Copies of this chain bind each other. A is one copy, B any other.
Amino acid sequence: MKTDIEIAQETTMKPIVEIAQKAGLTADDIEFYGKYKAKIPFSSMEKVKDNPEGKLVLVTSINPTPAGEGKSTVTVGLADAFNRQGKNVMVALREPSLGPVMGIKGGATGGGYAQVVPMEEINLHFTGDIHAITAANNAIAAFIDNSLQQGNPLNIDPRRISWKRVVDLNDRALRHVTVGLGGPLNGVPREDGFDITVASEIMAVLCLATSLTDLKERIARIVVASTYDREPVTVADLGVAGAIAMLLKEAIKPNLVQTLEGTPTLIHGGPFANIAHGCNSILATRTALKLADIVITEAGFGADLGGEKFLDIKTRQLGKTPDAIVVVATIRALKMHGGLDKKELTTEDVPALERGFANLERHIKNMKTYGRPVVVAVNQFADDTETEVAKLTEMTTELGVEVSLTQVFAKGGEGGLDLADKVSEAIEGPAQDFHYLYELDKSTEEKIEAVVTKIYGGAKVNYSPKARRQLQEIEKNGWSELPVCLAKTQYSFSDNPSLLAAPSGFEVTVRDLIPKLGAGFIVALTGDVMTMPGLPKAPAALRMDIDEKGLISGLF
C-alpha cells in the first residue's frame, strides 16, 4: 500500500491561483507563498465581507483511541465529495504542530486519498504562522524577565508568573526548568516551564481575533503574572501589546491550499482542544463562509472537547452556528471502547462493538441537544465485517440519526458521496433554534457543572482549595461572564483516561482555574493535562529524510 506522502507526491497540484479563482478570488487578492500556498490579506477579506454566508458543517468524533478515527480524513473526503457533485465547497482546518509530526504522528493533513497538499510543507513550517506565535509568546516572556531584572517596576511576584515559554516541539526536558541562573547579570532566578506552542494563549488569541485591532486588544488583556499584592499583570502593563501584535501581522492572515482533488482549503491556526478551544481561526472560517456555499470544518479531539468548545466558545465569536454536525466513528475504535486491545481488532466482535457503541451514542445525544441535525460518518476499514457494519448501522439509526459508510481514505471524494448526500439533506432541512449549553450570565461554577454533567455524564464537580480561591478571584475581577474551557483527557468522557465507552457516576476534580483574558475564556484544569508532549523511544524523525533534489520521505 502506498504511504500518504507517496500518494501526495504522485498528485499534480493545481497552481494556487487556480484554486483561488475557484473560490472567487483573483491573483491580486492573494499573497503567494510559493506556487501552491497563499495568504489571504485583510483587503481581500474586506472585499467579500458582504457576500452571503454559506452553510457550515462541523466534523467531530467519538473519544479518540489508538485505533484512529480519521476525522481530518473524513473532513477532507466529505468536501471532495461535495466538490465532485459540483458544489461550491471549502474546507477550514487547523494546521499541524511540528512537535507531534517529528514525534509520533509523522503528519497531520488527512490520509490516503483524502489529504490536503502540499503535505510536506503544511506539516513542516507551512507559512511560518506557528513560528511567529512562538516568537511572540517568547518575546512576552523575555519582557517579563527583563522587567524583573530592571528593578521590577511592575512589582511582579517571580513566584507567580503564569506565562510560560514555548517551543513547537515535543520536549519533555523543558516541562520544568529554572531560569535566570548565573549571577546578577543573568536575570532573576525562578521556576519556569515550557509548553508546546499550540498550547500558547497567543495561539488561542490568534484563532479568536476578528481583526488586527481585536488582536491587539486581546493581547493587551492577557494576564501573565500577579504582583506581590496579588493584582493581575497584563501584557498592556508591560507596554508591548503593539509590538506583539506587530509580530503576528502575517500569521493572522488565513492560508489557502488545496485537497488532492483541488477543493479550496483554508488551514489556519491550531490551538489544543484541551487547554484551549481546539478550532481553526475565526478569520479562516468566516472567510470560507463568505467564499463558499458549504464549508466543512473540524474541531480537535472528541465531541466532548473540541465539539463542545466549537459550539460554546467559537460560535459566539464567529456569529454563526453549524448547520449540521458530523460525528466520525470507526468500528475499530468503538471495539476498543468496548474493551478490546489494539491487537484484537482484526477479529469480528459484535458484543465489543455494542459495548463501545455507548461512546458514540452519548456524543450523538450531546450534539443533538444543541438543536442541530447530526449525521454519523463511519470511516470504514478493510477489517470491518458485514455483521459489524449492519449492527452499527442499526444501533445508530435507532437513535434517529442518519449514518453513512465512507471510504474516503481509499477512494477520496468518491468514497464520501453518500455522506455528502446525507449532510446535504441535513443542512437543507428546516431551521431549528440553536441552544447553547449554558448562558454567559451563569457563574463559572454553573458553567463547569453544565459541561461535566450534561456533556461528560459526570455526577459532580469537586474543586481543589486552590481552585476555590480562584473562583473568588474570578468573581472579584469581574471575569465571570467568560465561557469556560475544560482541560481534560481526550480519551474518556471523564477525567480518567482509562474509563472508556460511556462512564457515569464519576466525579471531576478541578485543580486549577486559569483566566485566559486574551482568548476570552477561563481554563479549568482537571486531571493531568499534558501541555508539553514527550518524544517516544523511536521518534518519527528517525525515518525522515531529504534527498539531493529536495524530495522528502518519511512523513506519513
Contacts and interface: CB of A to CB of B under 8 A. Distances in A.
Given A239-B542, A243-B545, A188 B173 contact: yes
Contacts of A177: 177-179, 181
A79 to B, nearest CB: 26
A524 interface: no
Interface string A527-556: 000000011010101101111111010100
A211 interface: yes
B216 A98 contact: no
Interface stretch (A140-148, A260-268, A391-399, A482-490): A140-148
Contacts of A174: 179, 187
Interface stretch (A244-252, A279-287, A426-434): A244-252
Contacts of A546: 212, 216, 242, 245-246, 249
Interface stretch (A128-136, A340-348, A465-473): A128-136
Interface string A226-253: 0000000000000110110111011000
Interface string A29-43: 001111100010010
A102 interface: yes
A266 to B, nearest CB: 17
B169 A175 contact: no
A182 interface: yes
Nearest to A240: B541
Contact of A150 (B148, B243, B537): B537
Nearest to A250: B125
Contacts of A541: 139, 143, 240, 243
Contacts of A170: 142
Contacts of A545: 242-243, 245-246
Contact of A187 (B165, B172, B212): B172
Interface residues of A, number: 77
A19 to B, nearest CB: 15
Interface in A166-194: 167-182, 185-188
A167 B178 CA distance: 16
A98 B169 contact: no
Contacts of A132: 125, 131
Contact of A149 (B138, B172, B180): B172
A145 B171 contact: yes
Contacts of A249: 124, 546, 550, 552
A146 B135 CA distance: 24
Given A32-B33, A216-B546, A142 B173 contact: yes
A548 B242 contact: no
A135 B98 contact: yes
B188 A242 contact: no
A51 interface: no
A44 interface: no
B169 A173 contact: no
A387 interface: no
A26 interface: no
Given A33-B34, A552-B246, A139 B169 contact: yes
Contact of A534 (B149, B165, B169): B149
Contacts of A141: 171
A11 interface: no
Contacts of A548: 211-213
Interface string A71-101: 0000000000000000000000000001000
A399 B306 CA distance: 73
30 contacts: A42-B550, A121-B250, A124-B247, A125-B128, A125-B247, A141-B171, A142-B167, A142-B170, A142-B173, A145-B171, A149-B534, A172-B187, A173-B180, A175-B181, A176-B180, A176-B182, A177-B181, A211-B548, A212-B549, A212-B550, A216-B546, A242-B544, A242-B546, A242-B554, A243-B542, A243-B544, A243-B545, A246-B546, A246-B552, A249-B550
What 8 A-B pairs come out closest when comparing CB atoms? Answer: A242-B545, A173-B187, A176-B182, A131-B131, A32-B32, A145-B173, A128-B128, A243-B541
